[in-house]
Amino acid sequence: AVIGTVGTCTEIDKLALNDGIEIYPNPNNGSSKLVFNTSAKDDYLLEVRNALGQSVYHEILEDFTGTCTRTINLNSYGKGIYILTLSNSSTTRAKKIMVY
């Protein structure tokens, strides 16, 4: 068994992603579903970049809290690996999306 002591918590990561970022199916044929859940009300930037670093999808979620579900369609950008980033005022998280 593991026993530990936790002191006073003064700040929680503002992104507060409860279950992380889910992208499915991944790999996919150009269309995937993104789901994330946050308990921290903030402005979020959702962006997808190609291997050259060019932004191919960009969305701002203002004053957002709760569950976000989006369909990301990359059909017109071709096969390859894309990087999805989700960021707010203090944190950035990234996931790979593979299109075959």
82 in Cβ contact with 96 (< 8 Å): yes
pTM, 2 dp: 0.79
Count the neighbouring beta carbons within 10 Å of the beta carbon of residue 94.
12
Q: In the chain, what are the domain boundaries?
A: 17-99
The whole-angstrom separation of Cα 62 and Cα 20 is 19
Burial of 11 (0-12, 13-18, 19+ CB in 10 A): exposed
| The domain over range 17-99 is classified in CATH as 2.60.40.3080 | yes
User: For the chain, what is the mean pLDDT?
Assistant: 87
Give the pLDDT score at 18. 54
Q: Kindly give, in sequence order, each residue whose CB lies less than 8 Å from that of residue 50, ignoring residues fewer than 6 positions away.
A: 56, 77, 80, 82
Give the pLDDT score at 78. 95
Residue 29 has pLDDT above 60, yes or no: yes
For the stretch 43-83, pLDDT in tens is 999 999 999 999 999 999 999 999 999 999 999 999 999 99
